[in-house]
Amino acid sequence: MADQSIPQVRTPQALQEEPAERTTKDGISRRRLLGTAGATGLVLGAAGGAVGHASAPAGATPLTSVGDSRVSFHVKHQPGITQPLQARGHLLAFDLAPGAGRKEAAALLRRWSDTARRLMAGEPTAQGDTDVARDAGPSSLTLTFGFGHSFFGRTGLEKQRPVSLDPLPDFSSDRLDKTRSNGDLWVQIGADDALVAFHALRAVQKDAGSAARVRWQMNGFNRSPGATAHPMTARNLMGQVDGTRNPKPADTDFDRRIFVPEKGEPAWMANGSYAVVRRIRMLLDDWEQLSLSEQEQVIGRRKSDGAPLSGGTETTAMDLEKTDAEGALVVPFNAHARITRPDQNGGAAMLRRPFSYHDGIDTDGAPDAGLLFICWQADPLRGFVPVQRKLDRGDALTPFIRHEASGLFAVPGGAAEGEYVGQALLEG
């Protein structure tokens, strides 16, 4: 879901036999060299935070462009929000252990931030690295950290809890499992290599130590970079192009809609955002019984290319008033794409950055599969909530999905050099 010629080199066996941290004449470790070398790199603007690297010096093994891509940890907004969709993701929620409070939480966020900085640079962890990602580069790895509503009561920081973090209202389509919802702390991990993502997952879990325990964990995936002939909007497990109208960093109002302003409230959330996380099961057996035409009527877009049923290409503005020869709306009044349009919801907008998931087959043969829906906004009461309320009242897609888990997390701005994520909250 996203959007190399190789010179003669030493054999993999020879490379593996070298010391893991052998340094070059410039004092760069071999592992660091492997984590930064490559012929190409992804370069985003300040909003994205990804940086490319120059080609490796003679004698070093260059990484492919996928392995070479690196995202900076010390950025204005935490990584993992504006980057392109990653091929592999892990979502985790933690609860602080009994007796753990503000002091333990600060130490944990300090450890997590140091680990994130190291791994995102293609370096090993500070202690006890498992070597799972030893041969790989950063692979666009990102780690993102947030705080749940319950965190503030457990740490004596209730006065710092944002109003925007108030619990989400109940929706008629909810079938929520409370054991897989919410949590004191939230971690999002994404990478374009599954082993790199797992390496980070294991490191985060180990760093938690006795301070926090895992409440729930979910695994997701997207299409791998380079799997299509050219970059294109992702498809979900229903086969639909998904994400056409996502806000873009180039939009003039992007920051206002997605990020808390620098002088916003509370002050520790400056440049941060709010993440709504929903595990949405797709009832694929029912969906796949629909004809192609019926599926397109439910969504309001062509399945082949994502273009609106009113005509044009994927990016053509949808004509909500267009009718067919019999006078019926070409885009049905309850089509999912019509209902979710910002101009149909008072301008409500959110940046969707999901992962698909598949957790096996039920005893009745139905796949437990769907979407790990993640959306970002400056205020969920003006972003997610009004859109979901409208979907609740008559979305044609509702009979084919089920919301099974939910969480809302306050994600502070990025950590400056020498700081850790959430420091302004925990030491303010």
pLDDT of residue 22: 38
122 vs 57: CA distance, rounded Å: 17
pLDDT of residue 348: 86
399 vs 402: CA distance, rounded Å: 8
| CATH number, domain 22-149+182-255 | 3.30.70.1030
Alpha helices in 127-277 (DSSP H): 149-154, 194-208, 254-258
pLDDT of residue 139: 97
Q: What is the pLDDT along the chain (428 residues), one digit of tens a residue?
A: 444 433 333 444 443 444 434 343 344 343 443 333 333 333 333 444 444 444 444 555 677 788 999 999 999 999 999 999 999 999 999 999 999 999 999 999 999 999 999 999 999 999 999 999 999 999 999 999 999 999 999 999 999 999 999 999 999 889 999 999 999 999 999 999 999 999 999 999 999 999 999 999 999 999 999 899 998 999 999 999 999 989 999 999 999 999 999 998 999 999 999 999 999 999 999 999 999 999 999 999 999 999 999 999 999 999 999 999 999 999 999 999 999 988 877 888 899 999 999 999 999 999 999 999 999 999 999 999 999 999 999 999 999 999 999 999 999 999 999 999 999 999 98
Active-site residue, 286 included: no
173 vs 299: CA distance, rounded Å: 17
Contact 374, 277 (CB under 8 A): yes
Longest Cα separation, the chain: 77
Task: Report CA-CA distances (Å) from 281 to 284, 365, 370.
Answer: 9, 15, 4
Coil, helix or strand at residue 243: coil
- How big is the CA angle at 268 (ends 144 and 374), to the nearest 5 degrees? 35
230 Cβ contact list (under 8 Å, min separation 6): none
Active-site entry in 184, 192, 242, 255: 242
DSSP state of 302: -
Structure tokens at 205: 């879990």
pLDDT of residue 60: 54
C-alpha atoms less than 13 angstroms from C-alpha of 223 in its C-beta half-sphere: 19
Task: Report CA-CA distances (Å) from 63 to 34, 72, 95, 402, 407.
Answer: 7, 18, 38, 41, 37
pLDDT of residue 344: 79
pLDDT of residue 39: 35
Contact 280, 287 (CB under 8 A): no
75 vs 411: CA distance, rounded Å: 14
245 vs 315: CA distance, rounded Å: 8
Q: What kind and span of H or E run contains 216? A: strand 212-221
Name the packing angle between helices 102-120 and 194-208 (round to 10°). Answer: 160
Domain extents in the chain:
22-149+182-255
